[in-house]
């Protein structure tokens, strides 16, 4: 196995994608204990990595807002850092360009269709075959390390926050009289509207959790108008009284809060992966996206989806409507039946000790 001292990982993707790359950081440190690891990520995703004890450096780029001066400074930093290995895990042209700029001795990326010559001959010293389509995103990322001789380990996701965040979340729990494990984090929104379920469905689940299970429901979401409207629609239909924290938590605070919850309930989203990263069981609804690629990483989680031939289609809604029938036609009764069975499995025990359950497919 080759020896490396200074490694750059490039992940210019969304919040969840960056979080799903953290097993790579763990695996690198295990393989080369003295190595220095730096990440290059897009603006707005850095909170998935800040405060991480294994991370040595963090570079942030903003394609839309960075000035020419800031861009030149970044390019100079990439060159002057003298990385001896770059792992480009984004798959885009920008990541390939930054890989070339680094001038690292070894520069790895994945092959892609119609890859331009400047990438095949200039950006990368080694292009790897893409993992199987059905591989989980974490497995896809780790495949790059397997090519370096680091194989067999599948580390968990990891997410960290500082003492100030911890104190703020503890104060929030005290103010709302929330005890650890006594509440469920329900995150109904997603970055894409075609991943959304119905307000009626969420309201039915929230009411059942509060009245039948005695679990307080905490609604969370991004500070966006569409997520605030969704939360309002859910609360209007609830017979109980979920705590509405939509728009009031940072990513770090959401993770710290999630770590105290009994479980997470929502759709395929970055907060779903955040739950898995902090060791909290996740129950997630899947529709057009493939659960084989994006299911919560680890043991004890639950995936619920329809058993339709068109799933996963990877499209932004049915016939261009931005609405996915495989989600909107998933009934509250179907979801609650599977959710109740899953909760009964770990009643009084540790759900994360369970083997990963098979995804529930519904007719």
Q: How confident is the model at residue 242 (pLDDT cuts 50, 70, 90)?
A: very high
Three-class DSSP category at 102: helix
62-116 tens-digit pLDDT: 988 888 899 999 999 999 999 999 999 998 899 999 999 999 999 999 998 888 8
pLDDT number for residue 318:
84
Strands 360-362 and 263-267: unpaired
CA 277, 280, 281, 285: dihedral to nearest 10 degrees? -60
Q: Does the pLDDT of residue 166 top 80, yes or no? A: yes
Element (H, E) at 126: strand 126-128
278 in Cβ contact with 159 (< 8 Å): yes
37-76 tens-digit pLDDT: 999 999 999 999 999 999 999 999 998 888 889 999 999 9
> Which residues, listed in sequence order, are joined to residue 108 by a DSSP beta bridge?
87, 126
Both structure tokens of 13? 């993707």
- Domain extents in the chain: 6-146, 163-362
What is the biggest distance separating any 2 CA atoms in the chain, rounded to whole angstroms? Answer: 62
Q: Does the pLDDT of residue 346 top 70, yes or no? A: no
**CATH topology match: 6-146 vs 163-362:** yes
Q: Does the pLDDT of residue 358 top 70, yes or no? A: no
Q: How confident is the model at residue 240 (pLDDT cuts 50, 70, 90)?
A: low
Please give the share of the chain, as a percent, with pLDDT higher than 70.
Answer: 94
> Which residues, listed in sequence order, are joined to residue 8 by a DSSP beta bridge?
38, 86
Distances (CA, A) of 263 to 44, 160, 221, 243, 343: 26, 18, 16, 15, 9
Cα 144 to chain center, whole Å? 19
292-316 tens-digit pLDDT: 999 999 989 999 998 888 888 788 8
* Mean pLDDT, the chain, integer: 90
Q: Could you give the angle at which helices 251-258 and 163-175 cross, rounded to 10 degrees? A: 60
Handedness of CA 138, 135, 60, 31 (dihedral sign): positive
Q: Does the pLDDT of residue 356 top 50, yes or no? A: no
Q: What is the CATH number of domain 163-362?
A: 3.40.50.2000
Q: What is the DSSP string of 291-318?
A: HHHHSPSSSS-EEEEE--TT-S---SSG
Q: What is the DSSP string of 223-263?
A: S-HHHHHHHHHHHHH-SS--EE-TTS--HHHHHHHHTTSSE
Distances (CA, A) of 342 to 260, 264, 347, 356: 19, 13, 9, 11
Cα 136 to chain center, whole Å? 12
Which CATH number applies to 6-146: 3.40.50.300, 3.40.50.2000, 1.10.1740.110, 3.40.640.10? 3.40.50.2000
Q: What is the DSSP string of 159-198?
A: ----HHHHHHHHHHHHHTT--TTSEEEEE---SSGGG---
Mean pLDDT value across residues 251-279? 97
228 in Cβ contact with 246 (< 8 Å): yes
Q: What is the DSSP letter of 67?
A: -
Task: Provide φ and ψ at 106, rounded to 5°.
Answer: -120, 125
């Amino acid at each position: 196995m080759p020896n490396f001292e200074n490694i750059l990982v490039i992940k210019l993707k969304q919040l969840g994608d960056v979080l799903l790359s953290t097993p790579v950081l763990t695996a690198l440190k295990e393989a080369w204990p003295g190595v220095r690891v730096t990440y290059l990520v897009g603006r707005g995703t850095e909170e998935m990595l800040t405060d991480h004890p294994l991370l040595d450096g963090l570079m942030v780029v903003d394609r839309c807002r960075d000035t020419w001066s800031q861009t030149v400074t970044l390019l100079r930093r990439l060159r002057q850092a003298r990385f001896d290995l770059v792992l480009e895990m984004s798959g885009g042209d920008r990541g390939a360009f930054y890989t070339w700029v680094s001038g690292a001795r070894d520069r790895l990326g994945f092959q892609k269709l119609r890859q331009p010559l400047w990438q095949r001959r200039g950006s990368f010293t080694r292009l790897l075959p893409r993992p199987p389509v059905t591989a989980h995103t974490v497995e896809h990322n780790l495949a790059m390390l397997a090519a370096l001789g680091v194989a067999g380990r599948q580390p968990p996701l990891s997410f960290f926050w500082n003492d100030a965040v911890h104190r703020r979340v503890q104060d929030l729990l005290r103010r709302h009289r929330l005890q650890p494990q006594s509440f469920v984090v329900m995150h109904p929104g997603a970055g894409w509207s075609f991943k959304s379920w119905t307000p009626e469905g969420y309201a039915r689940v929230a009411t059942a959790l509060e009245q039948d299970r005695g679990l307080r429901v905490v609604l969370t979401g991004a500070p966006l108008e569409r997520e605030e409207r969704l939360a309002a629609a859910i609360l209007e239909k609830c017979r109980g009284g979920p705590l509405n924290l939509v728009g009031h938590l940072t990513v770090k605070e959401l993770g710290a809060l999630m770590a105290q919850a009994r479980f997470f309930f929502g759709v395929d989203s970055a907060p779903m992966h955040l739950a898995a990263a902090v060791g909290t069981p996740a129950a997630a609804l899947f529709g057009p996206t493939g659960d084989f690629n994006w299911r919560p990483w680890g043991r004890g989680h639950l995936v619920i989806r329809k058993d339709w031939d068109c799933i996963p289609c990877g499209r932004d809604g049915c016939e261009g409507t931005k609405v996915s029938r495989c989600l909107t036609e998933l009934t509250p009764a179907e979801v609650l039946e599977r959710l109740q069975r899953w909760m009964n499995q770990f009643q009084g025990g540790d759900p994360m000790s369970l083997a990963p359950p098979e995804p529930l497919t519904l007719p």
